[in-house]
Amino acid sequence: MKIPGRIRPWLAPVLITAAVWLLWLPFLAGGSIRFDNDLMISRPDTALSRYISEGRPGLVVLLHVLGLTAFNPLKSALLFLVFFTGAAWLPVLFLRRTGSPGSGRSDWLFVLLCAASPVWAYQFYFTLQLAPVGLGMLLTAGTACLDTFWCMEERKTPLVRVPQMLLSSLLLGLAVSVYQALITHYLAVAAILVFSCLWNGQRIRPGRLLVWVLRVIASVAAYLAIARLLRGGESAYLNNQVLWGRQPVSESLIGLFRQAGKLLVPLSSVSLSLYPVGIILLVLLLRQRRKAGKPLFIITLAGIAVLILPLLMNIVLGGATVPRTQFALQVVAAFLPVFYAAAVPGKHRFLKGLCIAAAVLQAACVIRLWHTDTLRSRQDQAAAREIAAVLEEANPSGKPVLFYGTLPFEDSSVLTEKKDVIGMSFFEWGGYSPERPGYSTPGGVRLLEAVTDITPVPYHYWSIPADLDALVRSMPEWPAEGSVRETEEAVVIRLRLDPEN
């Protein structure tokens, strides 16, 4: 069957976009109870005020603008997918517009590789902020395209440049106020676009580049000042993310090298990508350019910047960071193989086949993570209902509740890769450890509020009296008889104490 000429250019974009939607929609709109949407279900005002304290006022604004202040997983997922796929296609459209390498018949591979990256799952776990973060990604990608045009274009009057700069700065500031790590997405998209334009022979204007850098710094500084003003001072949450000065410099450097090693040997879902292949291809590109006698210094600097960006958050924060802050690896790892296939003459069937195989492997990892999270949610909800039924009888006077121990997610039918949030039960949030057995209380209380009709008051779990601690340790583990007991101070639920968890 011959495909009509008018339809053929749209076929690949439509099919790739549909594949991305089919991959992510079950994960995003599946209805799993997670450690953020539980607050929107039970205490929406608390959820929104928490974002202000974390320095994300733009997220709260966009939740109101998008009509998502009430929990609506399907609407949030659909809006997000529109923004997310739009952000993935924008760099491709830019490269097509400028005629730079990276555009052409195989540019759809960039969207497929980027959008299917499993590390997105750790960001998308937080379904409450999905749509605003997706819109933030669309803004950062669009702003990067706008700024690259501004930096490369020869003919522009101040009447055009000034409004464009103001609009770009405003949109970037809004995006960063939605989620701070989105600045790395902006930088990654801008870096690959600048690299493509330089490779294509377009001249970068040093004066405009300096203004561009200063404008980005000013946008971020303005956001930080506004966020500090809104929350009324320092943020403990943000300060705790920065490891420089809070641990020895040697530990920070070790964390950086470990993260670099994970990117170079991508054996886990948080680093699974073609990044190491991209490094090799970039070296081959630069070698070929040197043989052709073309200018090498500036393009080499741009290439190094592209490679460093996946480690930028680790460098800024001083060591290993949570996977959900990674917004650059997906862009860089998808760009380099596709750019090589477009820039170097040849059919590159093996490389394109490798890209497709990598995308399939990434998608399989996403499905595994989604399945793991679904089973974890079911286990948590079942445990919450069973505990609530017992509490209704054991706690008629409404005493504070203390969860002692944890209920880790366990299922032998799925390969669980517990990293950051996927596969972590509610009872493991809040800083639980065997040395701090009562720290499962906040997660347990939040789970009960979201799943059941009871609203227990948490006991002061951070300071458990010695006599109560000794009593609880002698109790049998849930769900055995006697694992829930009313004491003078609280109702205690004795969960599992396991040094391996």
pTM above 0.75, yes or no: yes
Residue 235's domain comprises 8-346
Type and span of the H or E element at 93:
helix 73-98
Tokens (6 digits) for 80: 């997000």
Tokens (6 digits) for 110: 């960039």
In the chain, the number of structural domains is 2
Residues 151 and 278 occupy one common structural domain: yes
Quick check: is 351 in a domain? no
Q: Round to whole Å and give the CA distance between 263 and 278.
A: 11
Residues 217 and 334 occupy one common structural domain: yes
Type and span of the H or E element at 492:
strand 491-494
Q: Round to whole Å and give the CA distance between 102 and 285.
A: 13
Look at residues 436, 454, 432 and name the one whose alpha carbon lies nearest to residue 445: 454
Residue located via tokens 């497929």:
112
Cβ partners under 8 Å of residue 280, min gap 6: none
Helix/strand/coil for 485: strand
Q: Round to whole Å and give the CA distance between 492 and 460.
A: 12
Strands (E), 31-154: none
The last residue of a domain, from among 279, 312, 346: 346
The last residue of a domain, from among 346, 361, 392: 346
The Cβ of residue 469 has, within 10 Å, a number of other Cβ atoms equal to 13
Type and span of the H or E element at 28:
helix 8-29
Q: Round to whole Å and give the CA distance between 225 and 234.
A: 11
Residues 395 and 484 occupy one common structural domain: yes
Quick check: is 499 in a domain? no
pLDDT per residue of the chain (501 residues) written in tens, 0 to 9: 565 656 666 777 888 899 999 999 988 887 788 877 777 676 766 777 778 877 888 888 999 899 888 778 888 899 999 999 999 999 998 887 766 655 556 788 899 999 999 999 999 988 888 899 999 999 999 999 988 887 776 555 665 677 878 888 899 999 999 998 999 999 999 999 999 988 888 877 778 888 888 989 999 898 888 888 876 555 556 666 777 777 888 888 888 888 889 899 888 888 889 999 999 999 999 998 888 778 788 899 999 999 999 999 888 888 778 888 899 999 999 999 999 988 887 778 898 899 999 999 999 999 999 888 888 899 999 999 998 888 888 777 778 889 888 888 876 555 545 557 888 888 888 777 777 888 888 888 888 888 888 888 888 888 888 888 888 888 898 888 888 888 888 888 998 886 454
Cβ partners under 8 Å of residue 389, min gap 6: none
Q: Round to whole Å and give the CA distance between 372 and 122.
A: 12
Q: Round to whole Å and give the CA distance between 280 and 460.
A: 54
CB 77 within 8 A of CB 27: no
DSSP 320-354: ---GGG--SHHHHHHHHHHHHHHHSSS--HHHHHH
Cβ partners under 8 Å of residue 277, min gap 6: 336, 337, 354
Residues 185 and 49 occupy one common structural domain: yes
Residue located via tokens 């595994």:
368
The last residue of a domain, from among 330, 346, 362: 346
Quick check: is 355 in a domain? no
> Helix, strand, coil % (nearest 5) of the chain?
65, 5, 30
